[in-house]
C-alpha cells in the first residue's frame, strides 16, 4: 500500500521523523518521477542524477510547501524543471562543438544496452527527439503516462487548450515523420 501524502507531510514537519518522511516520499514517487525524466533524457545515468536532484530540492524546500497543489504535482513540477534546465544547459554546451543533442540521443538509442524497445518504438523515440521539448513532454505525459490535460496543466502551468494544441501538433508531426520515413 502506498503511503498517504498527508502522512508524509505531517512526518516531514517533525524533527525526529524527517528521515522516515523522506523514505516514504522516495518509496512512493521515485519510479514515476524516474520514468518521467528518463523519457525526456533517454540516458539512464543522467536520469538518475536528475531524480536525485529532484528529491534533494524537494526535501530542502518541503518546509515551504504550502499545499496549494498536491505533493504529486509539486514533485512533477520540480522534476520537469530540472529536466528542461538540464536539456537547455546541454544544448548550450554543445553549441561550440558543432553537435546537437537530438543526434547524440538518437545515437544513444541505437547503442544503449538499456534500450529494450522494438524497431517501432525505436523509430517513435527518434521522431520524438525531433520535436520541440514542450511537445515531446506533452506527448510523453499523454501517450505513455495517460495523464489528463487538467493534471498536465497543473504541472506545466499551461492552459488545457494550449496543451491540446501541443499534443495535436506533436501527433501530426510524428505521423508525417513516419509516413515520409524520415527515421
Partner 1 sequence: MSEELFGNKKRPFGVPENYFEDFEKRFMKKMEIETAENAAEEKVGSVISVVKPWLAMAASFVIIALLYYQVPKLFSADTEISSVNSVEDEFINSLALIVDEEDINAMIIAGESDFVFAPDSVLFGTFSEEELAAVTYFD
| Contact flag: residue 170 with partner 1 (CB under 8 A) | no
Collect all residues with Cβ–Cβ distance below 8 Å to 169 and sequence separation of at least 6: 135
Phi-psi label, residue 115: left if phi above 0, alpha if psi -120 to 50, beta otherwise: beta
The minimum distance between CB 96 and partner 1, in angstroms, equals: 29
d(CA 130, CA 145): 20
How many residues sit in the footprint of partner 1 (CB under 8 A)? Answer: 35
- How many beta carbons lie within 10 A of that of residue 29, not counting itself? 23
Cα distances (angstroms) measured from residue 69 to each of 53, 65, 102? 20, 9, 33
| CB closer to partner 1, 67 vs 175 | 175
Region near partner 1 per CB under 8 A, out of 6-14, 34-42, 98-106, 153-161: 34-42
| Contact flag: residue 108 with partner 1 (CB under 8 A) | no
Interface with partner 1 by CB under 8 A: which residues? 23, 26-27, 30-31, 34-35, 38-39, 42, 44, 48, 51-52, 55-56, 59, 114-118, 120-125, 143-144, 146, 171, 174-175, 178
Amino acid at each position: 500500500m502506498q503511503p498517504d501524502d498527508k502522512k508524509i507531510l505531517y512526518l516531514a514537519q517533525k524533527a525526529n521523523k524527517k528521515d522516515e518522511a523522506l523514505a516514504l516520499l522516495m518509496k512512493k514517487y521515485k519510479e514515476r518521477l524516474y520514468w518521467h525524466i528518463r523519457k525526456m533524457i533517454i540516458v539512464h545515468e543522467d536520469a538518475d542524477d536528475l531524480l536525485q536532484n529532484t528529491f534533494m530540492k524537494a526535501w530542502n524546500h518541503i518546509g515551504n510547501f504550502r499545499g496549494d497543489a498536491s505533493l504529486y504535482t509539486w514533485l512533477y513540477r520540480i522534476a520537469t524543471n530540472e529536466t528542461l534546465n538540464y536539456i537547455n544547459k546541454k544544448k548550450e554546451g554543445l553549441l561550440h562543438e558543432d553537435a546537437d543533442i537530438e543526434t547524440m540521443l538518437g545515437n544513444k538509442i541505437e547503442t544503449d544496452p538499456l534500450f529494450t524497445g522494438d524497431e517501432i518504438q525505436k523509430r517513435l523515440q527518434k521522431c520524438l527527439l525531433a520535436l520541440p521539448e514542450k511537445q515531446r513532454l506533452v506527448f510523453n505525459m499523454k501517450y505513455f503516462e495517460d495523464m489528463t490535460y487538467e493534471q498536465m496543466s497543473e504541472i506545466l502551468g499551461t492552459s488545457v487548450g494550449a496543451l491540446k494544441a501541443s499534443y495535436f501538433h506533436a501527433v501530426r508531426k510524428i505521423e508525417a515523420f513516419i509516413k515520409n520515413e524520415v527515421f
